[in-house]
Amino acid sequence: MRDGILGIDIGGSGIKGNLVDPGTGALLAERHKIKTPRPSSPVAVAEVVGQMVEHFSYSGPVGCTFPAVVRRGVTLSAANVDQAWIGTDAVALFERRVRSRFVVLNDADAAGIAEVSFGAAKGVDGVVLLLTFGTGIGSAMFVDERLVPNTELGHLNFAGFESVERWASSRARDDEGLSYEEWAGRVSRFLQHLNRLFSPDLFVIGGGISRKWEKYAQFLDVDVETVPAVLQNEAGIVGAAMAAVQLS
Ligand code: BGC
């Protein structure tokens, strides 16, 4: 095994990987990105995962994110990916393609693990909610730095929408041409609702939009400390690798 653990972040448009130092969260190579195949069927995605492992000439445990509910390696939902993933044993599928052991976990949970380990939520006790804003809305909940997996808060029924992510994700902002102020108004209402439900000590805003923090931070209105993710787009890769440490 080369230095570091391979983390792979599977998203609706791209699949990204890198070697990660699990002690520091540092990225050890140049990030490699491959377009997500269309359709994003399990077999097609497993092939890309295999190519990723080969790209890094890697052998060793692999951590892999997936944008869905993942229980014991089985993907149980498919909001923004091919429906064939529902009920797929992703760990078994990847381990058939690659001679390595795999951990597969929800993408937002992985991002949260990275932020708790090395980023914005490091050392924060109590209830922390990380939300990722992208094509959907992902969520990761921590209680005293321990993950409560698969919270799926982006699928709360809210503002007349069956899933709040259809109304307040980054994609909704793009599709509807919302200004940052308008979009942040929606996010604020969502955060206020989450505050009523969970009384968190901290919100961490992640996903691609965390890079644009200064464009909307002044419009966020919720009575809870709210900060941007530190690891930004690399959080999924880092958290995936951290989750694979248990296999090494
Ligand atoms: C999925 C979640 C995922 C989020 C962000 C949602 O549609 O249901 O599992 O974490 O998108 O990718």
Q: Is 9 in the pocket of ligand 1 (CB under 6 A)?
A: no
Judge if 71 and 159 occupy the same domain. Answer: no
In this prediction, residue 105 carries a pLDDT of 98
For residue 181, give the CATH number of its domain: 3.30.420.40
Judge if 129 and 225 occupy the same domain. Answer: yes
In this prediction, residue 3 carries a pLDDT of 77
pLDDT, tens digit, 9 for 90 and up, residues 19-74: 999 999 999 999 999 999 999 999 999 999 999 999 999 999 999 999 999 999 99
Judge if 81 and 134 occupy the same domain. Answer: no
In a domain, 115, yes or no: no
- pLDDT at residue 233 greater than cutoff 90: no
Q: Which of 107, 153, 156, 157 has most ligand 1 atoms within 8 Å of its beta carbon, as the pocket-test mutant?
A: 107
Judge if 89 and 169 occupy the same domain. Answer: no
Number of structural domains found in the chain: 2
pLDDT, tens digit, 9 for 90 and up, residues 186-210: 999 999 999 999 999 999 999 989 9
CA of 1 to the centre of ligand 1 (A): 31
Judge if 207 and 128 occupy the same domain. Answer: yes
Torsions phi, psi for 202 (to 5 deg): -155, 140
Judge if 178 and 95 occupy the same domain. Answer: no
| % of residues, the chain, pLDDT over 70 | 99
191, containing H or E segment = helix 180-198
**CA 37, CA 24: separation in Å to the nearest integer?**
32
Using an 8 Å Cβ cutoff, are 40 and 31 in contact? Answer: no
**In sequence order, what are the residues at sequence separation of 6 or more whose Cβ sits closer than 8 angstroms to the Cβ of residue 33?**
14, 15, 16, 17
From first CA to last CA, the distance across the chain in angstroms is 10
| % of residues, the chain, pLDDT over 90 | 95
Q: Is 188 in the pocket of ligand 1 (CB under 6 A)?
A: no
CA of 222 to the centre of ligand 1 (A): 23
Average model confidence (pLDDT) for the chain?
96
Q: Which residue has the higher pLDDT, 173 or 208?
A: 173
**CA 61, CA 211: separation in Å to the nearest integer?**
30
Confidence of residue 1 (pLDDT cuts 50, 70, 90): very low
Q: Is 115 in the pocket of ligand 1 (CB under 6 A)?
A: no
Judge if 83 and 133 occupy the same domain. Answer: no
| Owning domain of residue 31 | 5-109+235-247
Judge if 201 and 215 occupy the same domain. Answer: yes
Using an 8 Å Cβ cutoff, are 121 and 112 in contact? Answer: yes
pLDDT, tens digit, 9 for 90 and up, residues 234-243: 999 999 999 9
